[in-house]
Each structure stands twice: as C-alpha cells, then as structure tokens.
Amino acid sequence: MHIFANPARFLKLARPLTLWLGVGGAVLIALGLGSGLFLSPEDYLQGESVRILYVHVPAAWLAMGGWTGIALASLSQLVWKHPLAGVAGRAIALPGAIFTALCLITGSLWGRPTWGTYWEWDGRMTSMLILLFLYVGYIALAEADRERGGEGRVTAIFGLLGAINIPIIRYSVEWWNSLHQGQSISFSGGGSSIDTSMLWPLLASALGFSLLFGAIVLMRMRAILALQKVEARMRRLAA
Amino acid sequence: MNPWPFIIGAYAVTILGVVGLSLWSWITMRRAEADAENLRR
C-alpha cells in the first residue's frame, strides 16, 4: 500500500479509476435492479416484497464494508502512518453513513408488508442503528480534528474501536432471538439457500453498488487532497 | 397488503440517495480541483 503513499502517484491512478468504477457501477446497478424489479420471480413466502432486498442487502453489505474500510484505514494510519489512510477514512465515512441510513429505511419498508411492522428492537436492527450513530460520531470527530489542524489520531482510534460493532451485526441473528432470517448466501462451500434466479440480480446489484461506492470514495479523496493543497498554499501565502 | 408502494418507495429512496451522493461528490471534487489548479497559476 505504500506504493500509493505519494499523493501524486495515487491521483494518477485515481483519475481514470473514478470514471471506470462509476460507469461500471451504474451499468451493473441498472442491470441488477432492472432484473430484480421485472425479471426475477416473487418469493414463495415474502411475495413481491422480496424485490426490496435487491436494494436493501447491498446497502447493508456496504454499510458494514464501509466501516471495515474505516477500521483498516485507521489501523494503517496508527501503525504504518500511511499518509493517505486518514484521507481514506474521512472519504469513506459519509457514503458509509448514507448506505447505513438507506439500509435502515429500505429494511423498514420491507418489514411493514412482510412482518407487519416498520421497526422492531431486535439485535440486527439495533446494531445497524448503532452503526449509523458511529458513522455520525466519526464524521463529527474527523471534522472537529480537521478544524483544529490535528493529525486525526483520536478519529483513527474511534474508527478502530467502532469495528467491534461489525461482528455484532454479523452474528446478531445467531446470538439473539431475531425476526431476521439467518444467512442465505455463502461463498465458503456451505451453499446458498437462495435460488439462482434471485441470486444473480442480487450479486449484480451488490457489485454495482460496491463499484459506485468505490468511485464516490475516490471522488471524495480527490476533493480532500485538493482542499488540503489549497489550505497549505493559503497558509504559506499568509506566512 | 399491497407491497408495491413499499417496493417503489424503497427503490426511489435508494436511487435518489445514491444519485444525489454521486452528483454532490462529483461537484465537490471538480470545484476543489479547480480551486487547487487556479491557485497554482
């Protein structure tokens, strides 16, 4: 990762990558959501409501993936002092928070026709709500640190400690009684209980949203680096 | 219960959220890079 420690080298790669990730993501999202809405069959138990899962599940994966990215960036910042790690953490936080909010909203909209309620204080939903609060806390802490001109160490420690919520979200359906179903998709040989006609639109949608998430993070990293450059020059001019 | 208003609502909020976030990130990036470029000249 230290190959990209030089911002100029990073920007050289990030500029074309932003476009390719954005366009690839948009195409896959259109394919996944179009198939999810119009081609895939309804579920024998959930009926038509299953179509909401083509947006809800990718949002949930990216909400958790986003914080995993923040934790890795925080580790890289604290241990290896990677110069772009703090920038990456700050860039991930807002899209991560928005995908967490989307996960909660679409989950509520799925819950009403399926379970008969918008909200239930079960382990999975409560831990996802805590994740949203963690994102908001991280954003506030990072912004306060930036205004103070700090190195972002406290923000990085918060990012690392907040990662404890990720396994709690993941295993909440096994540890506590929950309305949520257990795992339906497995990549580790256990086999997936979801039918192929529903699996491929879900995977296309998840991959598409992931690529777009990557493009958004790169755009935000480029904006933060440009802003840092402007601030540094203004300081030099003022001195 | 008719699920379609919930399905349309979920897709609409997701698409609006993601498109809004993408556009905002794009505009912020372009503006910041233009400011940095102008200051260099």
* Chain A residues inside the 8 Å CB shell of B1: 112-113
**Per-residue model confidence as pLDDT tens digits over A69-99:** 999 999 999 999 888 999 999 999 999 999 9
Selected residue of A37, A43, A46, A51 to mutate for chain B interface (largest B Cβ count, 10 A): A51
Check the CA dihedral A176-A181-A186-A189 and report its sign.
positive
Whether residue A204 is contained in a domain is answered as: yes
Judged against a pLDDT cut of 60, whether residue A218 lies above it is answered with yes
Whether residue A149 is contained in a domain is answered as: yes
Residue A61 pLDDT grade (very low, low, confident, very high; cuts 50, 70, 90): very high
Question: Which of A42, A30, A76 lies closest to A211 in space, CA to CA?
Answer: A30
Whether residue A48 is contained in a domain is answered as: no
Report how far residue A219's alpha carbon sits from residue B21's, in angstroms, rounded to the nearest whole number: 11
The H or E element that residue A167 is part of is helix A165-175
Count of domains forming chain A? 1
State whether A105 and B10 contact (CB < 8 Å).
yes
Only one residue has tokens 């990036």, namely B29
Residue B21 pLDDT grade (very low, low, confident, very high; cuts 50, 70, 90): very high
Residue A185 pLDDT grade (very low, low, confident, very high; cuts 50, 70, 90): low
Whether residue A42 is contained in a domain is answered as: no
Structure tokens at B15: 């698409």
Question: Residues of A near B (CB-CB distance < 8 A)?
Answer: 22, 29, 33, 37, 47-49, 51-52, 55-56, 59, 94-95, 98, 101-102, 105-106, 109-110, 112-113, 209, 212, 215-216, 219-220, 222-224, 226-227, 229-230, 233-234
Whether residue A22 is contained in a domain is answered as: no
The total of other beta-carbon atoms located within 10 Å of residue A118's CB is 13
Whether residue A119 is contained in a domain is answered as: yes
Report how far residue A54's alpha carbon sits from residue B17's, in angstroms, rounded to the nearest whole number: 15
Q: What is the pLDDT of residue A68?
A: 97
Which range of residues forms the domain containing residue A204?
53-180+196-238
Q: What is the pLDDT of residue A187?
A: 64
Question: Phi and psi (nearest 5°) for A16?
Answer: -70, -30
Whether residue A8 is contained in a domain is answered as: no
Report how far residue A32's alpha carbon sits from residue A11's, in angstroms, rounded to the nearest whole number: 30
The pLDDT > 70 percentage for chain A reads: 93
The total of other beta-carbon atoms located within 10 Å of residue B20's CB is 11
Whether residue A65 is contained in a domain is answered as: yes
**Per-residue model confidence as pLDDT tens digits over A104-149:** 999 999 999 998 999 999 899 999 999 999 999 999 999 999 888 8
Report how far residue A11's alpha carbon sits from residue A222's, in angstroms, rounded to the nearest whole number: 7
Of residues A37, A212, A234, nearest to B18 (C-beta): A212
The H or E element that residue A3 is part of is none
Q: What is the pLDDT of residue A210?
A: 98
